[in-house]
């Protein structure tokens, strides 16, 4: 049965480059985004583009209805409250996160990841939080520590709920980082020889076992998510899981490869509203 599922995902892979020719060449980020949108909307003309912020739920009305019911009384409100308390608790020097982030930390999450020209690399929202901490004499959080960085980021994203994703790729160095992330997205990896695109482009909207596969456009607007109601997962943790599921050794979370992948991946959702915080199965 498992082998049949794998073969189903592999079917038609040869046509992926043709279907997304512009996205696999050195196209501009906006051209890539438009090519992805064209691909999805042609394949699923009855699905509204604005519904892609809900991921795989866009393809299943019953699942979306269940999601709406759960979100009326989110099971993760206690975690968001923990993040709020962390956000508002002053550092030892009396300053706060709001004092060292643009616009007091409000309506900025959709700008991340961003390319930092001074550092010559992509920085994520988590990097910005840690920069704030170390600048104020505090120790940096571990990127994948959900009790600290996870809940703090989950709360901080609520300060940008509804903001339109606004990832900028300007200049040759930023473009090189974007292209590196795109290469990772389209490169087959692991013993199963899958690329991110094989699932989230070629097979978006189809089922793997009992679960629908989500489209890449709209992905980045709703992370971190609370899976199963209370298990917090960041976008890079999900990347980590995907690498392992195709039996590949994942790059380090917070490292260049992961950050560049998030940079490319997030740019695909430009113009879509942030959704924070959300439930996923």
Question: What averages of pLDDT result for each successive group of 10 residues across the chain (281 residues)?
Answer: 44 45 69 96 95 94 93 92 97 96 96 98 97 97 94 96 97 98 97 95 88 94 84 94 95 97 98 91 76
Burial environment of residue 95 by CB neighbours within 10 A (0 to 12, 13 to 18, 19 or more): middle
- What's the pLDDT at 210? 80
Residues 6 or more apart whose CB falls under 8 angstroms from that of 62 comprise none
**Residues labelled catalytic:** 242
Same domain, yes or no, for 69 and 190?
yes
Confidence (pLDDT) at 137: 97
* Domain limit, last residue, from 113, 129, 158: 158
Distance CA 56, CA 54 (A): 6
Same domain, 224 and 125: no
CA distance 57 to 278: 12
Q: Is residue 165 part of a domain?
A: no
- Cα dihedral 241, 234, 269, 105, rounded to 10, equals -160
Is there a domain that residue 164 lies in?
no
190 and 153 in a common domain? no
Q: What's the CA gap between 14 and 198, in Å, rounded?
A: 10
145 lies in the same domain as 256: no
Which of 100, 112, 80 lies closest to 276 in space, CA to CA?
80
Residues 177 and 232 both lie in one domain? yes
Predicted local confidence at residue 232, as pLDDT: 93
| Domain end position, chosen among 90, 123, 158 | 158
Reference 279, options 233, 235, 237, 238; nearest CA is 233
How far apart, in Å, do the first and last CA atoms of the chain sit? 23
What total number of domains does the chain contain?
2
DSSP state of 73: S
The token pair that represents 139 in the structure block:
């120790």
**d(C-alpha 229, C-alpha 278), whole Å:** 9
Domain around 179: 2-73+170-280
Q: 144-167: b or e for each residue (b if 16 or more CB lie within 10 Å)?
A: bebebbbbbbbbbbbbbeebebbb
Query: Does the residue 238 lie in any domain?
Result: yes
**The last residue of a domain, from among 158, 184, 200:** 158
Is-contact 116 123, C-beta < 8 A? yes
Backbone φ/ψ region at 241: left (φ over 0), alpha (ψ -120 to 50), beta: alpha
77: left (phi over 0), alpha (psi -120 to 50) or beta: alpha
List, in sequence order, every beta strand (DSSP E) within the chain: 114-116, 121-123, 207-208, 211-212, 225-227, 231-233, 278-280
Residues 66 and 84 in one domain: no
Sheet with 225-227, strands from edge to edge, namely 231-233, 225-227, 278-280
149 neighbors 143 (Cβ within 8 angstroms): yes
Indicate whether 101 and 235 sit together in one domain.
no
pLDDT of residue 220: 95
CATH of the domain at 108: 1.10.760.10
């Amino acid at each position: 049965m498992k082998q049949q599922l794998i073969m189903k995902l592999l079917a038609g892979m040869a046509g992926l480059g043709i279907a997304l020719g512009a996205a696999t060449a050195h196209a501009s980020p906006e051209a890539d985004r438009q090519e992805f949108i064209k691909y999805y909307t042609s394949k699923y003309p009855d699905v509204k583009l604005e519904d892609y912020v809900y991921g795989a739920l866009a393809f299943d009305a019953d699942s979306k209805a269940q999601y709406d019911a759960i979100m009326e009384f989110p099971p993760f409100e206690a975690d968001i409250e923990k993040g709020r308390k962390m956000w508002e608790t002053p550092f030892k020097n009396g300053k706060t996160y709001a004092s060292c982030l643009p616009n007091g930390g409000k309506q900025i999450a959709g700008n991340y990841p961003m390319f930092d020209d001074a550092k010559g690399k992509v920085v994520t929202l988590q990097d910005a939080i840690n920069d704030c901490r170390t600048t104020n004499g505090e120790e940096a959080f571990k990127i994948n520590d959900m009790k600290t960085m996870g809940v703090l980021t989950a709360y901080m994203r609520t300060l940008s709920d509804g903001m339109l994703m606004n990832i900028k790729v300007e200049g040759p160095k930023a473009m090189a980082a974007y292209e590196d992330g795109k290469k990772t997205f389209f490169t087959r990896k692991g013993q199963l020889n899958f690329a991110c695109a094989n699932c989230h482009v070629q097979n978006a909207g189809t089922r793997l076992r009992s679960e629908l596969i989500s489209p890449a456009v709209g992905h980045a607007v709703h992370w971190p998510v609370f899976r199963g109601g209370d298990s917090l997962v960041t976008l890079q943790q999900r990347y980590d899981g995907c690498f392992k599921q195709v039996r590949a050794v994942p790059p380090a979370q917070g490292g260049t490869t992961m950050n560049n992948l998030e940079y490319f991946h997030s740019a695909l959702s430009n113009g879509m509203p942030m959704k924070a915080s959300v439930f996923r199965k």
